[in-house]
A and B are shown apart, each in its own frame.
Chain A
């Protein structure tokens, strides 16, 4: 399968402005994105928005190359936008118009004929759950409805890749759950999504690929499942007799507050030795499981690669 986007040796520096120093927003970033749901994780100021602007052809990088859906962004910065949908983080909707008008107009701007734009605006607003509200002015919309309208306008021209900038920002837990469910459904419909967020849980629950950046540099990238299975730590539950097991396993074992024990293992063959130690100590083996890494841990340097 052809890659969705290829980013090679990308660097972008913003010059010093007044008292603000020169900022290297993207620093020698190289990553390949496969089709699917991709989480772009990073703290505020990590370079996510700059990367989006470069992907959209709105900012020229200082060095490096970006190809999106086979299009060289430097060569055709305007044309690449026909392949992309974009949902900004901030409020950006004209509040005195109806959702149907806004989405249809933005569809026309994306190159859809007038009739098709209105039809697809209706379809995508229906898709995001705004079928009944679409003829109401946006000024009366809740934050969740506005976020969905923003998502709908990003989808209206059937893009090959949708860029979502903090799609759950400002939403309550229920609204956040709905938005993530919508994003997951886009994946099931075969629409590729690059979702920028600083909420690792959102990525862990929704995305099948992760790109982690910090200070413009790549911290880690890969399939979510692969990254989470690399902890190399097993957890052993011996029914509250953890202290005896720690004594049997030696200094590498750690007693957890709930009485279970964690132990780093090199590979699966080491599991036999753990089971043997439990049996030799005469302890009951309630559970033996591999501890999944968290993206938080990976992002903070625990197992990052």
Chain B
């Protein structure tokens, strides 16, 4: 073994020879899968410091808390009438996953922005990959992590309820629908937020700017949709009193969130003409709430109709929600492919 002279800047170079690689190299699909794996590792903090591991796993824990609490409550109250009270439904639990927005907002920029900021794209694309492969791997990685973090708590909820129910078989039989509704709803949720967050992250090299932009876009569109719905939708009533009631008790009003209200007359009574039922204002503008779009799609999967505020009760709410969902997902993917188009052969 010989030693080649070196400066003090690095280590010694030992002439130990070079060993050619005798195995087979994978092609494009292997490269795409490798990038997918590497992106997942980065998103969940594997092979990184404990600080970078802490946040994603904390979020998973937080997302699982309601499931664990509910299973615990169900266990404790299994012999009391309270057992009949459903604290949280699978449909509602998918909405809890919106809390993962914070994770998506930070993880997507973390797996995309550094490649451009560090100018690592030429290194990545000197491998057998195309720009589309890159987009698939990155969106797939973020989507997979979001799916996992949304789906696992649902599994905890399902298995827990199965175990504390009087008859696991009956519970299984009574809840057959959730076996397809939950995975499908979770996939829709994960695809939407991963595509949108990656598209925004592709526009900047700064992670914080990407995260802030995503939150501003979602919250801004939510406020805008609420404002437009309130100004153009069914008018909200105020004054007098409002009591939230079960709509079915009033003859089966079809919309959630119905409120009964009335105006007390000068004599202290309410004439029948002054009693009214009103709902939260809804208009097609409700579909512009980008934060609620996956919840609308979730409603379509679980209920067959949109029941979230601002779009509930609107004609063609279902197709409208699916249209906006498709537009956002396809538009985001299109933007991503365009951003990495120079790498296409």
Residues of A within 8 A of B (CB): 56-58, 60, 77-79, 81-82, 84-86, 88, 90-97, 101, 105-106, 108-113, 116, 120, 123, 126-133, 142-145, 148, 153-154, 157-158, 172, 174-175, 177-178, 181-182, 185-186, 189-191
Contacts and interface: CB of A to CB of B under 8 A. Distances in A.
B34 A105 contact: yes
A202 to B, nearest CB: 17
A174 B119 CA distance: 27
B12 to A, nearest CB: 6
A89 to B, nearest CB: 9
A119 to B, nearest CB: 10
A158 B126 contact: no
Contact of B30 (A111, A153, A186): A111
Contact of B47 (A95, A101, A144, A181): A101
Contacts of A127: 13, 16, 18
B128 A110 contact: yes
A102 B315 CA distance: 53
Chain B interface size, under 10 / 10 to 19 / 20 to 34 / 35 or more:
35 or more
Nearest to A80: B128
The listed residue with most A CB atoms (<10 A of its CB), out of B15, B48, B126, is B126
A102 B19 CA distance: 20
Top 10 closest pairs, chain A to chain B, by CB: A111-B25, A174-B7, A86-B126, A108-B34, A158-B21, A129-B13, A77-B345, A111-B26, A189-B18, A109-B127
Contacts, number: 153
B7 A144 contact: yes
B35 to A, nearest CB: 6
Max chain B Cβ within 10 angstroms of own Cβ: one of A81, A84, A128, A185: A81
Contacts of A96: 48, 114
Interface class of chain B by DSSP: loop
B127 A93 contact: no
B56 to A, nearest CB: 16
13 contacts: A56-B126, A82-B25, A88-B123, A92-B122, A97-B48, A105-B38, A109-B129, A110-B31, A110-B127, A131-B14, A178-B7, A185-B15, A191-B18
A129 B14 CA distance: 7
Contacts of A153: 123
B35 A178 contact: no
Contacts of A133: 10-11
Given A92-B119, A182-B13, A84 B21 contact: no
A93 B124 CA distance: 10
A59 to B, nearest CB: 9
Given A58-B125, A84-B126, 8 more contacts: A58-B345, A90-B119, A96-B114, A101-B47, A112-B25, A129-B13, A144-B9, A154-B126
Contacts of A105: 34, 38
Contacts of B223: none
Interface string B106-133: 0000000011001110111111111000
A287 B37 CA distance: 67
Contact of B21 (A130, A157, A172): A157
B15 A129 contact: no
A186 B219 CA distance: 56
A131 B12 CA distance: 9
A120 B125 CA distance: 20
A191 to B, nearest CB: 7
Contacts of A182: 4, 13
B78 interface: no
Given A79-B128, A81-B128, A145-B10, A86 B21 contact: no
